[in-house]
A and B are shown apart, each in its own frame.
Chain A
Amino acid sequence: MAGRTRALLTAVAAFVLLVAVWELVKLVVPDEGVLLGDTRVLPRTDDAAMPHVWTVLARLAEPEVAGAAAGRTVGAAVASGALFTLGLAMGGLLLGGVLGVLLALAMQRSGLLERAALPYVVASQTVPLIAIAPLVAGWGGRIAILGWSWQPWASVMVISSYLAFFPIAVGMLRGLTSPARADVELFTALAAGWWTTLLRLRLPASVPHLVPAVRLAAAAAVVGAIVAEISTGTRGGIGRLIIEYAQSATGDPSRMYTAILGAAVLGLVAAGAVGLLDVVLRRYRGSVS
């Protein structure tokens, strides 16, 4: 418990430090940045490029549409967008997790499949997301399942799962194959079948590999969801807000930073949710050696 408190304190201290560095740079570096000849080696620090931290925070409380006193605040808009995207990212994580685990099980079961599929699993991650997003959105438009027609958010979830499945498939495969040969032979000697060996040996042994993999996957799912929202033009999420706010960045720079702040908090929440998984599976958390 003490370790957990300390970890939290460290995280808070790191945030304070980040804010301090930001403000210090604004204070020390001249507004025009630092130029060596024609090359700018340090960025501009005027209020348009680097607004004060308190300006950004204050902007959260202001109405989204200037002058419309009754409208929702920027903070509320960012929060609702982040929540929407979090839902899609978690859906993508779940979808990617199930696919990744199934793929890892199949690869563990069949060496041939592992040799055949693993290179493509790796290659899948080198294809830029930007290239895939419109493809998925395009296919999605032609799909209707049992009267339910494909929605744009479903495309976002699928694209998000495309990023999330990779660490889970690789981590799970590593975990499933982690038991020592002697342990596997013991189960053979006990006349345990594949399923029993999976349940009593391979799955418990894979937990220390799976938990960090899921943490990576959660972060990847968030990135995937945001990029997918932007490249498919899906409304309602934080990705769309970032684009909208960035377009008004010249007039209102701090607004864009509120959206970026929202995206960062979103990633932290997603990673924190995985921390719960770690607590639940504590019993199986051995050393990875």
Chain B
Amino acid sequence: MTEAGAVELTGVHKRFGDVHALDGIDLEVGGGEFVSLIGPSGCGKSTLLRIVADLEQPTDGEVLVGGKPPRRARLDQDYGIAFQQAGLLEWRTVAENVELPLHVHGIGRAERRARATELLELVGLAEFAGSRPSELSGGMQQRVAIARALAPSPKLLLMDEPFGALDEMTRERMQAELLRIARETGAGVLFVTHSIPEAVVLSDRVVVMSPRPGRITEIVDGCRLGRGMAAGGAGGAGGVGKDSAGEAAELGPADVEDVRESGTFFAAITAVREALRKGHE
């Protein structure tokens, strides 16, 4: 890997008063790598994401985002973020919501429009550019939120249970969608989730965390498809299902469906489940 890692965490601790939320987290996310954080409620996985996003300050330890302190990275718009709720602004059209990050940073109207059109194309909502957010379904709103997060062309996407509020079918479609987007943009992703299958199907690596105080119990290789481009083999060593990663062709929902039915998928799920159980003991 030539560039600095997307995220580097060294000995990160976080306390909220008496509550010890995070305890000695060491983690590195490579450029273009997809890493999921999974663990029981209250294990501090969202807190960890928020520390990377500079929405929360670590009590101790060092955090680097693209080689910079998180505050600098936030001010430079090096990352895009999406939450569980799409959080679209109702008085703006879909396109204007996607433009928001650019609007905030005073980018000209024409350039904003062009970028929004491009991004809505990417998430397959081009014909809804002029609609109001409330006219869209939950899954569509979440796709708009992802397009918004991608607007400043960040090298890193931070996602806090973005599909948590969606039904199972929509959720699986969105996962395939996200894999395609991650491949097309080459962005690294740090992804918080409750769902073991979701973590396994999306990720290069699944980081399993223990209940409070949050520690990393184990890191399991996931089944991510279509890592393709930049990473080569330098990322997570020898991930399962990497054999199909060489295909440069289209990455469709059917391919993701194949992964969900493969033996490596179930093996990885079992590995994550056992790691989670171990953390509880």
Interface residues in chain A, defined as those with a beta carbon under 8 Å from any beta carbon in chain B: 180, 182-183, 185-192, 196, 200-201, 204, 207, 283-284, 286
Contact = CB atoms under 8 A, between A and B. Distances in A.
B77 A204 contact: no
Nearest to A191: B75
Nearest to A204: B91
A106 to B, nearest CB: 23
Contacts of A196: 104
A183 B100 contact: no
Interface string B74-109: 111101010101010111000000001101110000
A257 to B, nearest CB: 45
Interface of B: 53-55, 74-77, 79, 81, 83, 85, 87, 89-91, 100-101, 103-105
Given A188-B55, A189-B55, A204-B91, A182 B77 contact: no
Contacts of B89: 183, 201, 204
Contacts of A192: 104
Contacts of A189: 53-55, 74, 79, 81
Nearest to A179: B89
A200 B53 contact: no
Among all A-B residue pairs, the 7 with the closest Cβ atoms: A192-B104, A284-B91, A189-B81, A191-B75, A286-B90, A204-B91, A190-B104
A interface majority secondary structure: helix
A201 B91 CA distance: 10
B54 to A, nearest CB: 8
Contacts of B87: 180, 182-183, 186
Given A182-B83, A189-B74, 6 more contacts: A188-B74, A190-B100, A191-B75, A200-B104, A286-B90, A286-B91
- Indicate the member of A180, A186, A188 with the most B CB atoms within 10 Å: A186
A286 B134 CA distance: 10
A283 B55 contact: no
22 contacts: A182-B85, A182-B87, A183-B89, A185-B83, A186-B83, A187-B104, A188-B74, A189-B55, A189-B74, A189-B79, A189-B81, A190-B100, A190-B105, A191-B74, A191-B75, A191-B76, A191-B104, A191-B105, A200-B100, A200-B104, A286-B90, A286-B91
A190 B83 contact: no
Contacts of B74: 188-189, 191
B91 A283 contact: yes
- Indicate the member of B75, B76, B79, B103 with the most A CB atoms within 10 Å: B103
A178 to B, nearest CB: 12
A204 B76 CA distance: 26
Nearest to A287: B90
B55 A190 contact: no
- Indicate the member of B79, B81, B91 with the most A CB atoms within 10 Å: B91
A189 B100 CA distance: 12
Nearest to A185: B55
A90 to B, nearest CB: 27
B211 to A, nearest CB: 25
B74 to A, nearest CB: 5
Contacts of B91: 204, 207, 283-284, 286
Nearest to B84: A182
A186 B90 CA distance: 15
A190 B77 contact: yes
Contacts of B103: 200
A191 B93 CA distance: 22
Contacts of A182: 83, 85, 87
Contacts of B83: 182, 185-186
Nearest to B134: A286
A1 to B, nearest CB: 20
A286 B89 CA distance: 10
B77 A191 contact: yes
Contacts of B75: 191
B110 to A, nearest CB: 19
Nearest to A183: B87
A101 to B, nearest CB: 19
B90 A190 contact: no
A204 B96 CA distance: 14
Nearest to B79: A189
